[in-house]
Structure formats: C-alpha cells, structure tokens
Amino acid sequence: MNACTGVRIKGVMTRRKKILVVTSMAGALVGIMVWTAIATLDDVEDPIYAGAPLSSHLYTLYAPMPMIRPTPGKPPSAKVTAKWKADAKKRASAREALWFVKPGREALPLVTNWLASEPVSWKVKVGEWLRQYDADYLQWSADRKMMALQFLTEFPLGAIDELLPMAARELANTNRSYAMLYVGALTRNVAAAENIDADETLRVLMPLKYNASVLAGGVGNSGSIRIPFYSFGSNYEIDRAIERVDPDRKHVPLYMLEFAPLPDRVGAAMELAASPRLPERAVPLLVANLAVTNRSVQENCAVALGKFGGNARSALPALTNLLEHPRERVRTAASNAVVAINGSNTVVAAEGGR
C-alpha cells in the first residue's frame, strides 16, 4: 500500500470517527432533553412528609408488589422472600408516616394531577413484569390514577370539589374500571368535607345507591387494578354519605323519584306530600311518575301533586288522564288532586333550592 492510499484511508477513518462522535453527542443531547421533558411533565407541588416526598410514599404504598410464583412443590427462594418482606416493611413505614403527619389539602395538587393521568395499559403490564426482576420503573408504568384514589380513600382530604366531576365522568363510562375506587373515595371524602354542594353531590351519590352493578363488581375491565379492602364503597357507606350531605332530606326525595326502584318512589312521594318543596323540580318528577306501571306510585304521586296546589297546574293533563284509571284509589287520588289544584290560591314556596 502506497503512502497516498494510507493517507486516504486514515482520512476516511477520521471522518467516520467525527461523524460517530457528533452522532453520539446529538443522541445524548436528545436523550437529556427527553428525560428532562419527562421529569418536568408533572412539575407540581410534591409535599414532604417524614423526610420523603408524597409521591414516594404513594409509590411505596400502592404500586403493585412483585408476584411470587414459586415452582410447584418448591418454596420461594430466600431472595424473593427477603424482597417481599422488605417491600412489606417499607409499606408499613410509609403508612405509619402518613398517619402520623395527617396530610392536608396541600397534597391535592399532586393527587389531582395523578387523578387526571390516563394509564397506558401496556406500560402498566411491562412495569409489573419488570418488578419481578427487581427493575423499578414506577414513575412511567404505575397506575397513578388508581394510587391517587386509594390514597384519598385511606387518607380522605375532603376533596369533594376535585372528585365530583371526575367521578361523574368515570361512573358514566361503560368501562367502569375505576368505579368502585371512586365510590370508596367519594364516601370517605364526603365524611371529611366541610362545605358541600348538596345538589351536585347527590347527583353522583344517589344513582350509586341503586346501582348494584357498581357495588357488586364494577371494577373489572382492567386486570392490572388490584383493589384493597378499604377502597370498597358499600351501601352503608353511601347511605351515611347521603345523610351527611342532606340531613334534612330536602333533595333526597327528588333524586329517589328519578333514580330509585318503583317501590322506593312511594316513600319519596309521601315525603313530598307531607312537606311540599322545590315545586319547579318536584312537580315534573311527580308528573313523570304518574305514567309508571306501579299503581301505588301513581296514587301517591297524585296525592303529592294535590299538596302543591297552584304550583302543580302543569300536572292537570296527566292527572285528568288518571280519572279513567282501572284502580279506584288512583282515580280518587287524581280527582282530589285536580280539585285541590283548581281550587287553590296558594303557592308553595320554592325554599331557595335549585
């Protein structure tokens, strides 16, 4: 090989090295930019409790632990057992720390940010698979929405204003992957809240009271979600929350007429007959229930409409139709209501409700 050829080859190698160095530097720069973007994507306040950020406590408490899959007839290895015990100890310490400091509303910016997160199912599954091999990528793969709901259930902050719109959207979703988690979080946070909009809160709680599919197993379409025992909302908890929101039952009968099974609507009509209120809302609901097939509902709704007097004039056509009803008690109730409405000069007070 002559000198010219050697110089040419050396020059080509030098250019290749330069290109490789520049390419590597560019790749590293892009990597740093992407990493920075991911790291600052959720740049919200992350309060410190017992020397650790709230997010660290949440990952420790609620991120799925690696599953132990022992070989049949063979106990788990000492390494796997030690890892399991270490994780359990970390969770106990995190829970103790949060119970000691009692997080307040300063935790809400991070929690609501996590509630708005939409987990990517494949990332969650990959994250769980990696954890079995001691590789943790929780910030990217864990279901943060699930963790935020579990935190609000175990450590309620009275976060009704933040939970209600998200819960309403989730419970209207046919998937309902997080339905039961929202039930538990809502009922516990109602108990801890101070200022509650009764009407808005009941519009979410009352359908839950009568929706057995949510309470019996609404969580189901997302296999990666594991529900702890304290997240389960029950009818008892929902009843307590409703009583807390509307202790005088000013609004409850209205929602019963809208959402309750037909037998329960009889009691709602009786409550409105005993104490007529909010006619602009009650009268249309009572009129709608005159068309149901349950005769007791029809009779008691007719009685209640008569108690509203002049405020129930819009009900006269529907009541007149019931004058031909095959059941005498329904005909009598409708007739008495028509007389009471036509002969009434009184107007039932709206009581300032919406």
The Cα 274–Cα 132 span in angstroms is: 63
Model confidence, pTM: 0.71
Determine the straight-line distance between the first and last CA of the chain, rounded to whole angstroms: 96
**Residue reference for tokens 């009407």:** 199
CB-CB contact of 212 with 248 (8 Å)? no
Task: Name which of 213, 153, 162 is nearest 183 in CA terms.
Answer: 153
Average pLDDT on 165-191 reads: 84
Type of residue at 16: R
Is the pLDDT assigned to residue 279 strictly greater than 80?
A: yes
Write down the domain spans for the chain: 51-63+82-245, 258-342
Average pLDDT on 251-255 reads: 96
Is the pLDDT assigned to residue 79 strictly greater than 70?
A: yes
Mean pLDDT of the chain: 80
Task: Name which of 281, 206, 215 is nearest 246 in CA terms.
Answer: 206
Query: What is the per-residue pLDDT for 83?
Result: 76
Task: Name which of 238, 103, 124 is nearest 180 in CA terms.
Answer: 238
Is the pLDDT assigned to residue 9 strictly greater than 60?
A: no
Task: Name which of 237, 310, 324, 315 is nearest 269 in CA terms.
Answer: 315
Average pLDDT on 166-184 reads: 81
The Cα 81–Cα 20 span in angstroms is: 46
* Of residues 144 and 141, more confidently modeled: 144
* Of residues 27 and 95, more confidently modeled: 95
pLDDT band at 217 (very low <50, low <70, confident <90, very high): very low
Q: Could you read off the pLDDT of 295-311 as tens digits, one per residue?
A: 999 999 999 999 999 99
- DSSP label at 180? H
Is the pLDDT assigned to residue 239 strictly greater than 70?
A: yes
The Cα 95–Cα 50 span in angstroms is: 11
Q: What CATH homologous superfamily does 258-342 map to?
A: Leucine-rich Repeat Variant (1.25.10.10)
Measured CA distances, 160 to 46, 58, 108, 299, 329 (Å) = 20, 20, 11, 38, 44
Q: Could you read off the pLDDT of 13-72 as tens digits, one per residue?
A: 576 776 776 676 666 555 544 444 444 445 688 999 999 999 999 999 988 665 556 667
pLDDT band at 228 (very low <50, low <70, confident <90, very high): very low
